[in-house]
Structure 1
Amino acid sequence: MTRFEELFAPHLDAAYNLARWLTGNDSAAHDVVQESALRAFRFSQRFVDGNAKAWFLTIVRNESYTWLKATAGRHWVAFGDDVAQDPGASSHDQTPELLAIHTENAALVQQALCALPPAFREVIVLKELEDMPYKDIALVVDIPLGTVMSRLARARAMLKLELLKLYDHE
């Protein structure tokens, strides 16, 4: 059990984050991470050396897509109002007006990100939220490094368009 704890337990938060963004469902994300952790534990002998986070997140990504396929056509719950805020958002230095603006902007970014197709959403989540290097994203998503960069550029452009649409509707 110590091998699993050393290699993969430190990445459970990243795993949940990726699963939640891909499935759009809190409960499903917990299930996906649990199943992924079980698989990582069961097949940890296959992981010889290298990037444990990328290996584990690859399992999480695959499990997330398996969940999406299994629930295709069913109604799934989108993200709720529990928008993640940065630690500075609750600072006593911020006025209620600034906090409201921050919360509203975070909700709009979250809504725009959720509107992206999963293939584009995942590269944004891995790069911008998990701060993974391009080469590690390529391992997780199983695409060439150049494709990661071009997909990330397209995802950012798509995100910008979604945000513009949302801001225009306000």
Structure 2
Amino acid sequence: MPANPFARPSQEAATSVRFEAEVLPWLDAAYNLARWLVRNDADAQDVVQESLLRALRYFGSFHGGDARVWLLAIVRNTCYTLHARHAPEGRHASLDDEALALPDDCPSPEALTLLAVDVGSLRQALERLPPPLREMIVLRELEECSYKEIATVTGQKIGTVMSRLARARERLRAELSHPTTEAGRHDVR
């Protein structure tokens, strides 16, 4: 009986199973990083899709270790590669209500309003950071990567990661503590 020409070789099947087990659990982290770097939902989805294709294509070069860090490095590089080719720097994505949705813990309307203002202010301040500083905050604070993992993702030394993260936090703090000129015009003094 001849072999089935449509059957995948066992090595390819094993690689596919290993890829699904090691890389696919980190899809949310990949999308989160892509979303903050490209600042657009549709573009972030495209970046993640392209990153997964690249990750699958080069999965043979992944020799164990932290698959999350490996995938995040691919996402970061894909973001910057595609961004350099296609997108102008001045693009901004609108904030959608789903991203600001709060868990149903029944807080008061006043508490909801204050929290929405805080979350909105934080999102806007994070959006205003330059991409290298924004990526540091996203990787450390949102994705909870260690300094070593961030260094691996970004291809930088740990000292550089630490100094950029310190500058990013300081810049974010300054962005949050200084009202924008629009808000300043409406302040009652």
| Distance in 1 of aligned mates of 2:31 and 2:22 | 16
Q: Helix, strand or coil: the match of 2:63?
A: coil
Q: Helix, strand or coil: the match of 1:166?
A: coil
Q: How does 1:55-66 map to 2 (within 5 A)?
A: 55-66=70-81
Q: Helix, strand or coil: the match of 2:179?
A: helix
How far did 1:71 drift? 2.6
Q: How does 1:132-143 map to 2 (within 5 A)?
A: 132-143=145-156
Instruction: Tell me the equivalent position of 2:131.
Output: 118
Q: How does 1:39-78 map to 2 (within 5 A)?
A: 39-73=54-88, 76-78=91-93
Q: Helix, strand or coil: the match of 2:99?
A: coil
Which residue, out of 150, 157, 161, partners 2:163? Answer: 150
| Distance in 2 of aligned mates of 1:22 and 1:75 | 13
* Contact 1:112–1:166 (CA under 8 A) maintained in structure 2: no
Q: Sort the Cα spacing of 1:134 and 1:27 in 2 relative to 1 into closer, same or farther, 3 A.
A: same
Instruction: Tell me the equivalent position of 2:36.
Output: 21
| Distance in 1 of aligned mates of 2:90 and 2:160 | 31
| Distance in 2 of aligned mates of 1:73 and 1:20 | 16
* Contact 1:54–1:140 (CA under 8 A) maintained in structure 2: yes
How far did 1:84 drift? 3.4
Structure 2 length normalisation: TM-score?
Answer: 0.82
- Per-residue CA distance 1:97-141 (angstroms, 9 max, x = gap): 101111111011000001001100001000000111110010001
Q: Sort the Cα spacing of 1:166 and 1:82 in 2 relative to 1 into closer, same or farther, 3 A.
A: farther
* Contact 1:124–1:152 (CA under 8 A) maintained in structure 2: yes
1:130 aligns with 2:143: yes
Q: Sort the Cα spacing of 1:90 and 1:37 in 2 relative to 1 into closer, same or farther, 3 A.
A: same
Q: Helix, strand or coil: the match of 1:84?
A: helix
Instruction: Tell me the equivalent position of 1:102.
Output: 115
How far did 1:83 drift? 6.1
Unaligned stretches of 5+ residues in structure 1? none
Structure 1 length normalisation: TM-score?
Answer: 0.91
The Cα RMSD (Å) is 1.8
Sequence identity (%): 48
| Distance in 2 of aligned mates of 1:79 and 1:19 | 16
Larger radius of gyration: 2
Q: Which amino acid aligns with 2:164?
A: R
Query: What is the aligned residue count?
Result: 168
Unaligned stretches of 5+ residues in structure 2? 1-15, 185-189
| Distance in 2 of aligned mates of 1:64 and 1:56 | 12
